């Protein structure tokens, strides 16, 4: 095992980097989409239950099935990985962003208006900062999930450590099968825990000072 890791150290690091990069970039995309949608559905109240239903149903669609549905459309490689990870990453963020934005006391918004703030100033300086801790919780949930989804998406020749797991599977009986599968799986667990720790820190430093616990 140690010899295996030693001889492939550069490749393992590169794949770990690819895995993280895929997850982080997809999550940034997902967060922007999800918060944008949340703003839309909390403004038009009739859409709120629809958005919640969509995020509940979306999470029930198995990632391997979504990958299968996408392959004929987008082909294999990095694109299906990005689409699948972004799709699942957006759902918990959307749900939490809706809850967070709805949780902002309407009297606070009213007093911000009363001080002469414009609509966008109210959003950037009042509603977003106040709902940020809830949104960050959603981002943490979706980060954990995205790490695993990215592993699954490697089946369609996507980037990242997931390919080590599939290599282990196809080389079953071979000398390195277990090594590949262990490095892939443990590597993803380590990355997920590291990313979660980073997000806790990020959440701490980006939360407005007035509402920090």
Partner 1 sequence: MRTTALSREDRLLLFGLPAVVLVVLAGWCLWRASADLGDIEARALAWDAVGQLALEHVLIVLVCAVLVVGCAVPLGILLTRARAGFLAPAVTAAANAGQAAPVIGVIVLLALAVGFGFWTAVLALTVYAFLPVLANTVAGLRGVDPAVIEAARGMGMSPFQVLRRVELPMALPVIMTGVRTALVLLVGAGAFATFIDAGGLGTLIQTGIIMFRHSILVSGALLVALLALLVEWTGRVMELFATPKGLA
Residues 135-174 that bind partner 1 (CB under 8 A): 144, 147-148, 151-152, 155-156, 162, 165-166, 168-169, 172
CA 172 vs CA 160, 161, 175: distances in Å: 20, 18, 8
Tokens of 20: 């993280």
* Footprint on residues 81-140 left by partner 1 (CB under 8 A): none
DSSP 104-122: S-HHHHHHHHHTT--HHHH
Q: Which two tokens stand for residue 57?
A: 């149903």
Q: Any idea how long the chain is?
A: 213
Binding residue for partner 1 (CB under 8 A) from 13, 28, 44, 61? 61
Size, binding site for partner 1 by CB under 8 A: 43
Span 177-196, contacts to partner 1 by CB under 8 A: 177-178, 181-182, 184-185, 188-189, 192-193, 196
Identified binder of partner 1 from the candidate list 29, 33, 39, 71, rule CB under 8 A: 71
Please, what is the minimum distance in Å from the beta carbon of residue 138 to partner 1? 16
Q: Spell 180-190 as b/e; 16+ CB within 10 A means b.
A: bbbbbbebbee
> Least distance to partner 1 from the beta carbon of 156, Å?
8
Dihedral over alpha carbons 15, 185, 81, 39 (to 10 degrees): -110
| Residues making contact with partner 1 (CB under 8 A) | 49-50, 52-53, 56-57, 59-69, 71-72, 144, 147-148, 151-152, 155-156, 162, 165-166, 168-169, 172, 177-178, 181-182, 184-185, 188-189, 192-193, 196
């Amino acid at each position: 095992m140690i010899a295996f890791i030693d001889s492939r150290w550069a490749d393992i690091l590169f794949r770990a980097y690819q895995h993280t990069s895929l997850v982080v970039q997809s999550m940034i995309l997902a967060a922007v989409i999800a918060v944008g949608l949340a703003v839309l559905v909390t403004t038009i109240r009739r859409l709120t239950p629809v958005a919640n239903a969509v995020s509940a149903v979306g999470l029930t669609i198995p990632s391997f099935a979504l990958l299968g549905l996408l392959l004929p459309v987008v082909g294999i490689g990095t694109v299906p990985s990005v689409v699948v990870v972004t799709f699942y990453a957006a759902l918990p963020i959307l749900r939490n962003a809706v809850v967070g934005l709805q949780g902002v006391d309407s009297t606070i918004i009213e007093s911000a208006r009363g001080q002469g703030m414009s609509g966008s100033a109210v959003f950037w300086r009042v509603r977003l900062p106040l709902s940020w801790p809830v949104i960050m919780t959603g981002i943490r949930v979706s980060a954990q999930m995205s790490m695993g989804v990215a592993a699954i998406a490697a089946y369609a020749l996507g980037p990242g450590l997931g390919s080590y797991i599939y290599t282990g599977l196809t080389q079953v009986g071979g000398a390195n099968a277990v090594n590949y599968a262990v490095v892939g799986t443990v590597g993803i667990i380590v990355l997920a825990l590291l990313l979660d720790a980073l997000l806790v820190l990020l959440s701490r430093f980006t939360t407005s000072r007035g509402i920090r616990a």
